Amino acid sequence: MAEGENKKIIYSAVQPSGNLTIGNYAGAIRNWVRLQEEYDCFYAIADLHAITVRQEPEKLRRHTLELAATYLACGLDPEKCALYVQSHVPQHAELCWVLNTLTYVGEASRMTQFKDKSAKHADNINMGLMDYPVLMAADILLYLADCVPVGVDQKQHVELARDIAIRFNNRYGETFRVPEPLIRRDGASIRSLQDPAKKMSKSDENPNAAVFLSDDRDTVLRKFRRAVTDSENSIRASEEKPGVSNLLSIYSAFAGCTVEEAEKTFEGRGYGEFKLAVGETVADVLAPIQAEQKRLLSDRRYLTEILKGGAERAYKASRKTLSKVYRKVGFFQGE
């Protein structure tokens, strides 16, 4: 792959913590595919982050390969981006240790991620949970990333990475690029099918609330048939119609049209027909992704080679940054 010397650098990562939803696809993965055409992209499978909550080792390994296959099936091109497993590049953890010495306890404890996960996993409030944002900062700063594509709920982590970068630069001299959040707009409004006040989540207890990338056609259609709407039977986007607005957002994301165009498409049609059409549109997009993911997972050697190649490229880039950091903080590195 030719190095994108004149391209801005992007870093992003997702944990291999189970099945992805159509919200993950529309809001993140599809965006990654577009970004690889314009930026020098480093995309990680964040297994170091994943173990801040208890994982079953065999499942974690399986989910890592499944996620890699999903990314490739969705259109990530290993010739255009570095796709790798976070733990395969030791500089992530090494830089995190240095950055820990510039991060204040108050900063870390105020992070939403720490608060949320501490509440959900009260029996396992470990230091990794508090250190999660510092590791995320290390992830980003290692590659001198210009931009980090995030949802609004993740902006806080980029802000901490910016603060740490500025603090390090002020203390030791210009070293890190101060990253900017690249806020995702498309897909951001994909909500739970059963409670549109909530974001669609793979951990939702209601089995009909989320549509997963692995759901077969019948399951997708069934979930959309059961999606909440309202009693008005008018298909238009409005704050007073969160369920219908959510379905319009999903349709527009998967049909490649605007919400206004979707409203015109379904003008005068009933909710039953509308929900079926949304489900069919989503299922049509998922079918080739599922087929390609299955094919890729049958060739474990190929997947391993792709991840190895991505890790080698990430290692090369991150080693330069870490060496500079070690020199700046005063570590003796030999002649």
**Predicted confidence pLDDT, tens digits, the chain (335 residues):** 444 457 999 999 999 987 899 998 998 899 999 999 999 999 999 999 999 888 999 999 999 999 999 999 999 999 999 999 999 999 999 999 999 999 988 887 777 766 676 667 677 777 887 888 999 999 999 999 999 998 777 788 899 999 999 999 999 999 999 999 987 655 456 999 999 999 998 888 899 999 999 999 999 999 999 999 999 889 999 999 999 999 999 999 999 999 999 999 999 999 999 999 999 999 999 999 999 999 999 999 999 999 999 999 999 999 999 999 999 999 998 76
pLDDT at 5: 58
What burial letters (b/e) apply to 312-321, b meaning 16+ CB within 10 Å?
Answer: ebbbebbeeb
What would the CATH number be for the domain defined by 9-188+300-329? 3.40.50.620
pLDDT at 185: 59
The answer for residues whose C-beta is within 8 angstroms of residue 33's C-beta and 6 or more apart is: 74, 75, 76
- Bridge partners for 3 per DSSP: none
pTM above 0.75? yes
Q: What percent of the chain has pLDDT over 90?
A: 76
* Cβ burial, residue 126 (10 Å; 0-12/13-18/19+): middle
pLDDT digits (tens, 9 = 90+) for 238-270: 999 999 999 999 999 999 999 999 999 999 999
**Catalytic site residues?**
117, 199, 202
Where would I find the H helices in the chain? Answer: 22-24, 30-35, 47-50, 57-74, 91-100, 105-109, 112-120, 127-142, 155-172, 217-225, 242-255, 259-265, 271-297, 300-329
DSSP category for residue 102: T
pLDDT at 221: 98
pLDDT digits (tens, 9 = 90+) for 275-312: 999 999 999 999 999 999 999 999 999 999 999 999 99
The answer for residues whose C-beta is within 8 angstroms of residue 17's C-beta and 6 or more apart is: 50, 55, 63, 202
**Do 142 and 103 contact (CB within 8 A), yes or no?**
no
Give the separation between CA 63 and CA 53, rounded to whole angstroms.
15
